[in-house]
A and B are shown apart, each in its own frame.
Chain A
């Protein structure tokens, strides 16, 4: 079975769940959610066992579909985050169905699988058309997901904003793709890589297109100055969907960005310095505009939104710092590593928020006070997540940041490094503000918070992954060391 067929089956499962939610009211929503989780786990297992040779692909997709290590990594990543998001949805079903139009979860359980299909497809995209199609599959599904709890005004507002701004960004992206096509005569990454080396290509036209293209993709990954939608949408969307946006949508944006940048910065490219500088400028602004406003946030969800922007800045910096001689991972690999560390900590933080929400506890810092007494486990998990987001040594987050810094130092991007240091320092302030609130302040009540055993197990496993990756990242690095060969090959 090829990876491609897994994606098709996953999409079918997503549709089946949506239909079941509509026509089989007897089936409980949790059952459907767990079916989705089971489906993605099975898909993950199948993916591990599936043939990784491109020859296994059906003839009609082969020209548009690559199966290198990086794409397989992002496919697995998409499946993991989808399963976890479905778990979060199952965990907060009562809260969510209170606010949905018909009092049910319905599509909220099926759509993530379709998003997942899009993300998996995107990981394999070899040209801008495939990127566009799969990106739209993801984005359109997200429009629905963000606005799903329509009885909540915030969610509705977030949905509208995301729809309008997202549509504008998509337009920008397509427009940019058209210009790049006009300049280089190709939509495939391979062709673009050749085009940027071609002296006959009009450089201004090319740069014009690249600026649009990067702006469109920058919107998807929440890079400044195209990040304004993030805080509002993250805050308004149902919490599991926010987690999905924050991890899944960002990851799929970054795989595309990795491919595009790999192509644009191919050896001998005439736009190397321009593209690198664009990335660096954006990285610097992103880190600052993500971190500094976060200092004031009193809503943890909004804080995580800003944190997501700031992390995007670090990822852009990683992308701009081309392969470093110090380690066997390319910049694409560093991005993947960073995202892999970002996944458990973000999901863990959102999980805690979901559980609290179900108990009627909001996401403001005030309401988190005294959590250390009410649920020592949740408090500990949130502490680990926050420490890792801040980049405390011995957590996964530290290693991700360290790789980025090392690569950037090797290239001597001191100005951006300065901004990143400021951002990271500010991060320690606002992440630890959360830790401070849960432990040092007295809450209004000491009523314990209950968590189901299965959820405790999964959340503890996530926390364990954060700590294990922080201590012993070698296995993950080994997995990612291979794509070096793949993306360098593309460059040549």
Chain B
């Protein structure tokens, strides 16, 4: 380490905290939470100070630690990229991280394993900061995996619950599929760009370097690389078809869902795609695929959200749907719009999750919205902040941040692809519908159970973060905040279509809200029953079937082939030959001195024969 830079503080302080807590958690007990919260507070402050500077894209990488040095040309360091994108994201991660730490102090106060929780949380902060700061793909991949690990640990925090265990495993394994593609993509770029995977280098290389030539002559290789890299994002940002892990990940503690599975980690895929936007820009086809996957995820997830009854799952599907928006924007070449939505979404979705946590806390760990009701009177603070979050999510015009950022994405879609625009608009309608449904069922009407009627607002340490986040949900799209955050400012669409887009989204919003009110007002059970949506399009069942019928059959065949070819021809046959030779050679070693002497003599004769008569003929 050269010197203490802001970047190194933000990166290494959480690591220090994580190690201290995880190694000493028996001794630390209560102090663990304080260490973790303290480190996240410091990081948030440093990240806030770092905001506001103007730099060029990719900036000047700051050296933090030396890492792998293979040769002079192949080396990977832990370097920090400091530019607009990373400053803004760093602030989001550390700031929401800090609020979630604070909130967790209240939410987890009865948990026996708090030190482990806070240790893992610090671990996550370290890993996520690493992704944000990464200046090359290898460093990003390492932290990418670390993020996966901390997510696994946190989802499985209550590991005595089998469902939490399964969810953690599912998240980890599903991500593995995507990460495998990501790794192949990195290796492709590593090979094509002669061993350099730094973002700045890669971007240059596309302008005038090895990658430029590849792009000219072998476009498909670039497409393959872009799609492989995208696979990483599909896993981490839970896009179709690898979206199945995110709803299950809600088994983790709610603050974790807010921080990791809504605001930050799942957005890492989008962040990474924007980082490599030069790559996506280089392949039209890859861009189309990415946009398509994003659009499909957006609408499918929204449809599934319509029929969920678990408050956290509704939010989880809504996260999927919003991530779909972002990915769609990136695929359409409007990375700024995607990043902008990422920023605003991070605030209001964290708010919604923390709000749902407050609801769950108030209702004694009840998550079914049909067992709530009337909470607007019992928990007014939660109700108001949750309503603000909902407003931002459904994009109430002009006053919420969500409206502006969704505008940007819809604008980009309208410009490039009308079908995606239609999908986006319909998703907006669905979003308004299912969120209003959630509000009506959970907060309005009469309490349906005892726990709902005795609910009360949580302590200040939990309400505080809600208030801060609701302010940001309303204001984060205002130019003054936006510039501070350095959200990449989307192109202004003051074309003719601008008012059309605004009109369409307002129509979608009003229609969704109105329909929800009409259907759900005063209802005690769900009037709609669409098994296809409720069962999440049977994707999980499809995968289970795939495993059962296809993979098991395939495994059976592969086992057979392995028995014959790998076991038999590749392992057993050479082994048998080796054993034969070995035992033959061993039988020479019978221990008879005469025999040995004879062999010694024979060997010498052989050596002489070979040396004098054979080799001079064949050798030059």
List residues of chain A with CB under 8 Å of any chain B CB: 157, 160-161, 164-165, 168-169, 172, 203-204, 207-208, 210-212, 214-215, 218-219, 224-226, 228-229, 231-232, 273-274, 277-278, 281, 288-289, 292-296, 422, 426
Q: Indicate if the CB atoms of B589 and A293 lie closer than 8 Å.
A: yes
- Other than the given A208-B612, A293-B589, A296-B579, 4 more pairs (CB < 8 A) read A207-B615, A211-B607, A293-B582, A294-B582
Complex Cα distance, B599 from A194, in Å, reads 34
Min Cβ gap B607→A in Å is 5
Residues A274 and B616 in contact in the complex (CB < 8 Å), given A210-B611, A293-B589: yes
The verdict on A295 contacting B599 (CB below 8 Å), with A207-B611, A208-B608, A228-B589 known, is: no
Interchain CB contact under 8 A, B596 and A219 = no
**B interface: dominant SS:** helix
What residue in chain B is nearest A288 (Cβ atoms)?
Answer: B581
Task: Return the contact of B611 from the options A225, A278, A422, A426 (Cβ within 8 A).
Answer: A278
Task: Please provide the chain B residues from 549 to 600 with a CB less than 8 Å away from any CB of chain A in the complex.
Answer: 578-579, 581-583, 585-586, 588-589, 591, 593, 595-597, 599-600
The CA of A97 and the CA of B610, in the complex, are separated in Å by 47
Interface membership of B527, Cβ < 8 A: no
B607 touches A161 (CB 8 A): no
B603 near A225: Cβ-Cβ < 8 Å = yes
Q: B residues within 8 A CB of A157?
A: 591
The answer on a CB contact under 8 Å between A168 and B611 is no
Count how many pairs of residues, one from A and one from B, have CB atoms less than 8 Å apart in the complex.
98
What sequence of 0s and 1s flags, for each residue 602-619 of chain B, a beta carbon within 8 Å of any chain A beta carbon? 111011101110011001
Report A240 CB to chain B, min CB distance, Å: 23
Nearest B residue (CB) for A161: B593
Q: Which B311-347 residues sit within 8 Å CB-CB of chain A?
A: none
The CA of A207 and the CA of B619, in the complex, are separated in Å by 13
Which residues of A lie under 8 Å from residue B591 when comparing CB positions?
157, 232
Which residue of A is nearest B578, CB measured?
Answer: A292
Q: What CA separation (Å) do A376 and B443 show in the bound complex?
A: 63
CB distance from A65 to the nearest CB of B (A): 30
User: Cβ of B162 < 8 Å from any Cβ of A?
Assistant: no
Which residues in B have their C-beta under 8 angstroms from that of A278? 607, 610-611, 615
Give A453 Cβ to nearest chain B Cβ, in Å: 30
What residues of chain A lie closer than 8 Å to B582, measured between beta carbons? 292-296
**What mask results when residues 511 to 554 of chain B are scored 1 for a CB within 8 Å of chain A, else 0?**
00000000000000000000000000000000000000000000
Are B615 and A274 in contact, with the CB atoms below 8 A? yes
Q: Looking at B595, B599, B612, which has the most chain A CB atoms within 10 Å of its CB?
A: B612
- Chain B residues with CB under 8 Å of A211's CB are 604, 607-608, 610-612
Contacts of A273 in B (CB 8 A): 615, 619-620
A219, B585: Cβ atoms closer than 8 Å: no
Closest beta carbon of chain B to A156's beta carbon, Å: 12
CA–CA, A212 to B581, complex, Å?
A: 27
CB distance from A176 to the nearest CB of B (A): 9
Contact of A165 (CB < 8 Å), options: B581, B600, B606: B600
Q: How far is the CA of A296 from the CA of B583 in the complex (A)?
A: 7
The reply to whether A296 and B586 contact each other, CB–CB distance below 8 Å, is: yes
Question: Closest CB-CB distance, B615 to chain A, in whole Å?
Answer: 4
Tell which of A157, A274, A422 has the most Cβ of chain B within 10 Å.
Answer: A274
Between A and B, 29 residue pairs with Cβ closer than 8 Å are A161-B593, A161-B596, A164-B597, A165-B596, A207-B611, A207-B612, A208-B608, A211-B610, A212-B608, A214-B607, A215-B607, A218-B607, A225-B599, A225-B603, A226-B603, A226-B604, A228-B588, A228-B595, A228-B596, A231-B589, A273-B615, A273-B619, A277-B610, A288-B581, A292-B578, A292-B579, A296-B582, A422-B578, A426-B578
For B595, what are the chain A residues with a Cβ–Cβ distance below 8 Å?
228
Question: Among B579, B589, B602, B619, which residue has the most Cβ atoms of chain A within 10 A?
Answer: B589
A210 contact set on B, CB distance < 8 A? 611
Are A292 and B581 closer than 8 Å at their CB atoms? yes
**For the complex, what is the distance from the CA of A226 to the CA of B596, rounded to whole Å?**
9
The answer to whether B578 and A219 touch across the interface, beta carbons within 8 angstroms, is no
Point out the residues of chain A lying under 8 angstroms from B611, CB to CB. 207-208, 210-211, 214, 274, 278
List residues of chain B with CB within 8 A of the CB of A208: 608, 611-612
**B619, chain A: closest CB distance, angstroms:** 3
In angstroms, Cα B530 to Cα A166, docked, is: 91
The 3 closest A-B pairs by CB, nearest first: A273-B619, A225-B603, A292-B582
B606 to chain A, nearest CB (A): 7
A161 to B593, CA, bound (A): 6
Structural contact, B603 and A215, CB atoms closer than 8 A: yes
CB of A281 within 8 A of CB of B610, answer yes
Instruction: With both chains docked as a complex, state the minimum distance between the C-beta of A184 and any C-beta of chain B, in angstroms.
Output: 16
Asked if residues B603 and A293 are in contact (CB atoms below 8 Å), the reply is no
Q: State the CA gap A288–B579 with chains docked (Å).
A: 11
Smallest beta-carbon distance B366→chain A, Å: 50
Pair B589/A232 contact, Cβ less than 8 Å: yes
Closest B residue to A216 by CB, please name it. B604
Give B52-106 interface residues, CB cut-off 8 Å to A.
none
Of the listed residues A203, A210, A211, the one surrounded by the most CB atoms of chain B closer than 10 A to its CB is A211
